[in-house]
Amino acid sequence: MARRVYTVAALVAVAALTAGCAQTVNGLPRAEKPDVSKVAGLDITTGESGPKPGVPDADLSVENGDGGEMDRLAINALADVEEYWAEQLPKNFGGRGFEPVKRLVSYDSTGDGVEICRTNTKGVANAFYCSLDDSIAWDRGDLLPMLDDAFGPMAVVTVLAHEMGHAVQYKLGADGGVNQATPSIIKEQQADCYAGNFFRWMAEGKSKHFRISTGPGLNQVLATMFFIRDAAGTSAEKQGAHGSAFDRVAAFQFGFGGDPKRCAEIDDQEIKTRITQQKFDVKDVDTGQGKGNPKVDDQRYLDLLEESLRNAYKQSGATPPTFTSGDNNCPDAKETTPAAYCPATNTISIDLPELVRIGTPPKRGQKGGIGDFAAFAEIASRFALSIQKATGYPLEGPAAGLRTACLTGAWAGTTTERAAKLRLSSGDLDEAVAELLADRSLIAADVNGTVVPSGFARVEAFRDGFFNGFGLCTRKYSG
């Protein structure tokens, strides 16, 4: 976050964001009450995710392959993605047929380089669609095993479904709303959205080789989207920009909840109102733990956070809670960490060491927390509970968890405002996504710390609040 001290200098990026906040974003379900036991209309399931056992491998020819596990996984994934498009492209785009990509190419970036798409693959840990020869290539030596180790086989499927999204885009051309001059952020957002289309189909049980649960399975996919985000500080206008985690997850979710036509609609206009990715600002602090990440136990920031929260929810008319440290001995709610809300006393108690752990980004190659915004959002979520109590909403159960995520998002939305003293910095929303996807996170938890089981629903509720504010949270997530 950035602390703004007595200055009112205009900031282009923030002004753009604020303009975005005032509008209803296409693709968000409007004024409809979600069933909290579902995710985008599907039951929340917790079963197995990954390759289906006993299904023969797809019969697609691959160049330069080694016949190993990673190539088999890639081929099965691409076969199913192509089956999806053969079925859905005609349905969505006026009967036009889907031509499978012409070449599939495997390579090992850790071995001798080969020439693919005018690129020498030595050291290139990547997967890509090449429009020069209509091919999809993947690195079986480094990228795929790394994704598989970190997030499971669905991470590999996610990346390849995204690449096939580019193939679809290229084949659709102007009918899909893109041409050579289209900025990369639009192409990447569409490809993420097309990947979401495919995963919806898989979640409905239609994929031959794969199955996915809408609970933990989709959480792993979203964690993969987080992993492949652009670094904080990247501008969305930069050629090659792929999007922040917040923006990428949104595109995937629009695809999961909508059809391919929805994805093809992603254009410059939509990007302007919805994309949050931005460069660092000169005022973003640098305390040596990553730009835009102040130390969360700095009392000046905690004071600004409290002020920011009071302002964000002022319209509710609720008496703000008081902050304490140490045990709260609450008679009517469980103690949660790093912050706890006690309804009986209207207090928030903070576990400072745990807050610092979450708020400290990892040093290179080491384990660590997430960042300042993850920590601040944890506190904000408990503050949001006090608002719900004052306005007569129940504080327990999944609807309370989602309402809390939405209201926390609404607070985050106010930190983009020009006059905000505690301002959102580049990377902050991605910290929120990371925290929301962690199963112990309070951002989408009720007063006792019970977390909504679907990470998908958690992130969606937070985004709803971020873009649409307080009013939508109480309407949409009224329970």
Q: Which stretch binds Zn ion (CB under 5 A): 42-50, 94-102, 187-195, 418-426?
A: 187-195
Q: Does 17 bind Zn ion (CB under 5 A)?
A: no
Q: Let me know: does 160 contact 136? Beta carbons within 8 Å.
A: yes
| End-to-end Cα spacing for the chain | 32
Name the phi and psi angles at 258, rounded to 5.
Answer: -130, -165
Q: Which stretch binds Zn ion (CB under 5 A): 35-43, 71-79, 181-189, 297-305?
A: 181-189
**Taking CB under 5 A as the criterion, which residues in 37-56 touch Zn ion?**
none
CB of 189 to Zn ion, least distance (A): 9
Q: Which stretch binds Zn ion (CB under 5 A): 189-197, 328-336, 368-376, 466-474?
A: 189-197
Pull the structure tokens for residue 450.
């019970």
CB of 168 to Zn ion, least distance (A): 12
CB of 177 to Zn ion, least distance (A): 16
Q: Which stretch binds Zn ion (CB under 5 A): 113-121, 185-193, 197-205, 362-370?
A: 185-193
C-beta of 267 vs 335, nearer to Zn ion: 267
SS3 350: strand
CB of 293 to Zn ion, least distance (A): 28
CB of 157 to Zn ion, least distance (A): 15
C-beta of 169 vs 207, nearer to Zn ion: 169
CB of 240 to Zn ion, least distance (A): 10
Residue pointed to by tokens 């915004």: 373
User: Alpha helix (H) ranges present in 275-314?
Assistant: 299-312
Contacts of 147 (CB under 8 A, 6+ apart): 155, 156, 159, 224, 227
Q: Does 191 bind Zn ion (CB under 5 A)?
A: yes
Determine the Cα–Cα distance for residues 80 and 102; give it in Å rounded to an integer.
Answer: 16
Q: Does 195 bind Zn ion (CB under 5 A)?
A: no
C-beta of 188 vs 430, nearer to Zn ion: 188
C-beta of 265 vs 297, nearer to Zn ion: 265
Pick the closest to residue 373 from 294, 470, 320, 275 (CA basis). 294
What are the angstrom distances between the C-alpha of 382 and each of 237, 259, 349? 36, 36, 9
C-beta of 80 vs 188, nearer to Zn ion: 188
**Taking CB under 5 A as the criterion, which residues in 249-278 touch Zn ion?**
none
CB of 166 to Zn ion, least distance (A): 5
Residue 162: DSSP 8-state: H
C-beta of 187 vs 421, nearer to Zn ion: 187
C-beta of 194 vs 470, nearer to Zn ion: 194
C-beta of 28 vs 191, nearer to Zn ion: 191
CB of 188 to Zn ion, least distance (A): 5
Q: Could you please report the per-residue DSSP string of 193-216? A: HHHHHHHHHHHTT--SSEE--TTH
Q: Let me know: does 255 contact 225? Beta carbons within 8 Å.
A: no
Rounded to an integer, what is the distance from CA 357 to the centroid of its chain? Answer: 22
Element housing 341 (H / E): strand 339-342
Q: Which stretch binds Zn ion (CB under 5 A): 183-191, 341-349, 365-373, 386-394?
A: 183-191
Q: Which stretch binds Zn ion (CB under 5 A): 182-190, 274-282, 290-298, 459-467?
A: 182-190
Q: Helices 143-151 and 153-172 sit at what angle, rounded to 10 degrees?
A: 120
Q: Which stretch binds Zn ion (CB under 5 A): 4-12, 153-161, 184-192, 219-227?
A: 184-192
Half-sphere exposure of 462 (CA within 13 A, CB side): 34
CB of 51 to Zn ion, least distance (A): 24
What are the angstrom distances between the C-alpha of 408 and each of 38, 131, 192, 219, 282? 21, 42, 25, 20, 26
**Taking CB under 5 A as the criterion, which residues in 373-412 touch Zn ion?**
none
Q: Which stretch binds Zn ion (CB under 5 A): 111-119, 186-194, 360-368, 400-408?
A: 186-194
The region that residue 152 occupies, defined by phi over 0 for left and psi between -120 and 50 for alpha, beta otherwise, is left
C-beta of 2 vs 191, nearer to Zn ion: 191
Pull the structure tokens for residue 68.
């190993």
C-beta of 10 vs 181, nearer to Zn ion: 181
C-beta of 128 vs 467, nearer to Zn ion: 128
Name the residues that contact Zn ion, by CB under 5 A: 188, 191
